[in-house]
Each structure stands twice: as C-alpha cells, then as structure tokens.
Amino acid sequence: MNNFDVSFILDSLPYLLKGLQFSLILTAVAFSCGIALGTILALLVHLRVPVLGLIAKTYVALIRSIPLIMVLFWFFFLVPLFLGWLSGASRPVPVGATWTAFITFALFEAAYYCEIIRVGLRAVPKGQFEAAAALSLNPCATYLHVILPQVFRATVPIILTQTIILFQDTSLVYVLSLTDLLGAASKLAQISGRLTEFYLTIALIYLVICFGASQLVWRLRKKTKLQ
C-alpha cells in the first residue's frame, strides 16, 4: 500500500469506463429481455396453461438450481455443437462470447423475474379480476391493463434488487474473456503489475453503483408501504 499510485488509474480510466459501459449494457439488455420473458413464463404458470405451464415451471426450477457460470459454459461450448448438428455442418457453429453473454444472462434472469412476478400475481386481490369482468374486459385486456400494472408497481423494489444482483453477476463474463469492468481492470492489472490499485478501484466502483441503487430501492420500498 505504500506504493499505491493513483496515476495508473487516471491514465487507464477510459479503458475502465469502456468496460463499465459493457457491464451496464449487458445489465440493461438482460433486464429488458429477462423481464419480458419472465412475465410470459409467470403468466403461463399462473394461468396453468396446459403443457406450456408445466414447461415454464420446469424451466424456472431448472435454471434456479444451476449456477450462472455453469450456464455460461454450457451455452458457450454446447450450443455450437448443437447448432452444427442441427444444420448438418461438419464443424460446430460458433456463437461467440458476446452473444453467449447476452443470451445466457437474459434466459437466466427470466427465471428469477418470473418468480417475482408470479408471486405478485398471486397477491392481487380477486376483486380486481371481478371488477375487470364486470367491465366486460377480456382476459388479455384484464392482465394487460388491470393486473400487470399493479403487479409491477408492487414488485418494483424486488425487481430492482434482483437487477442489482444482475449487475454484480456481469463480472462472470470475465471467464469468456470479455472486456467488462472486471475484465478491463484485470487486463490492466496484469500488464502494469498494479493489482492493488485496479482491484480496489473496481471494488469502489461496484460499491458506489450498488449502494446508490440500493438506496433507491429502499426509498421505493418505503414509498410503496406508505401507499
């Protein structure tokens, strides 16, 4: 610590910010796709749709039982083999590390968002469904305009908490040699030999972002309770 030199961090700041940008983009895409797919899965389970509901329930249980890093490895190594077999190619069809990260994170987070939304659906009073029926709303309009807005409003704090965890988990793409925040810092640390400076810096960046987001979640949770 006596040789701690901030100048290495300042000189490498553009590259670190580039890694942070990738982490934030991955978080945003995984959140958007995950919440959309998670909502569909939650509705299939909640409505007990024949066959599809059972498939959705099995998918959620399976994904929630497997570590994310294992899913990343499965997708990166096994999907190219499957695509090669499906297309009849003599060699595996490469997917690429970037596509692997975006698709895997979206599919993985969908299972967790599904459970959050499913619990929210169960918490909606039956009177809301009866009121929608009294207004002659069809099931699609009932869920789209009456039920889901209430579910999202009630579960926003939990959804944001899961999104904070998602942002932290983006550091796992380092195993795919992608330049996220951790990957950028690790490469710079190995080149310069300044492990202490770079790893402490990214720890501070994660702390500031996650703590700020956690405070937002706390305020939203408090506001929701007051209402």
**90-143 pLDDT, tens digit each:** 788 888 899 999 999 999 999 999 999 999 999 888 888 888 888 888 888 899
Structure tokens at 115: 């459970």
**Structural domains of the chain ordered from first start:** 7-226 (1.10.3720.10)
For the chain, what percent of residues have pLDDT higher than 70? 96
**pLDDT-based confidence at residue 218 (cuts at 50, 70, 90):** confident
Query: Cα dist. 220→142, 160, 226 in Å?
Result: 26, 10, 10
Residue tagged 């789209």 (tokens): 144
DSSP 14-31: HHHHHHHHHHHHHHHHHH
Question: What's the pLDDT tens digit per position in 172-188?
Answer: 998 898 989 999 999 88
Residue 47 is which amino acid?
Answer: L
Region class of 125: left (phi > 0), else alpha (psi between -120 and 50), else beta: beta
